[in-house]
Amino acid sequence: MAQKKSTSDADVQNVLMDVVEVQLAAFRAGIDFWSAWVEQASKFSEDAGSRLGEIRRNPSDANRLLMEIGEASRVSLRAMTDLPRQAAERFIEELGKSEQSRASGKKGAARPKAKRSVRAKP
């Protein structure tokens, strides 16, 4: 019975470690996504804002500057539509790293045992 309990404990630990690895992969991909989104939005905002300022200072260039804003918007939106694909690739890459780490860990040492630092009192 003791052997079965230790096997169950190890199985639970492995499942929990897998859950954490997936969660970390999702967080890393999400962080990359939002960082790139903010960077792209910031760049467009600066470009569009400066061109609008130019229009206010020199209305005769409005058509050209509005076309430039339109082009900057197109470029920005195209880059932003690629962000979900990049995030998915990052997620898959992170999972692959976890899988490689797990595979190399099985060849040698087993995963470390979970440590209980606090116990609930009845």
Please report which confidence band the pLDDT of residue 29 belongs to, taking 50, 70 and 90 as the band edges. Answer: very high
What is the number of domains present in the chain? Answer: 1
Residue at 102 is within a domain: no
Please report which confidence band the pLDDT of residue 1 belongs to, taking 50, 70 and 90 as the band edges. Answer: low
Pair 91, 25: CB distance under 8 Å: yes
Residue at 82 is within a domain: yes
Residue at 18 is within a domain: no
In angstroms, what CA-CA distances link 51 with 39, 54, 71?
18, 5, 12
Domain limits at 51? Answer: 39-94
Residue at 24 is within a domain: no
Can you read off the two tokens belonging to residue 40? 């792209």
Residue at 65 is within a domain: yes
Residue at 81 is within a domain: yes
Q: How many CA atoms lie within 13 A of 39 on its CB side?
A: 8
Pair 72, 48: CB distance under 8 Å: yes
Residue at 108 is within a domain: no
Q: Output the pTM of the full model.
A: 0.70
pLDDT of residue 98: 85
45-77: per-residue pLDDT in tens? 999 999 999 999 999 999 999 999 999 999 999
Residue at 72 is within a domain: yes
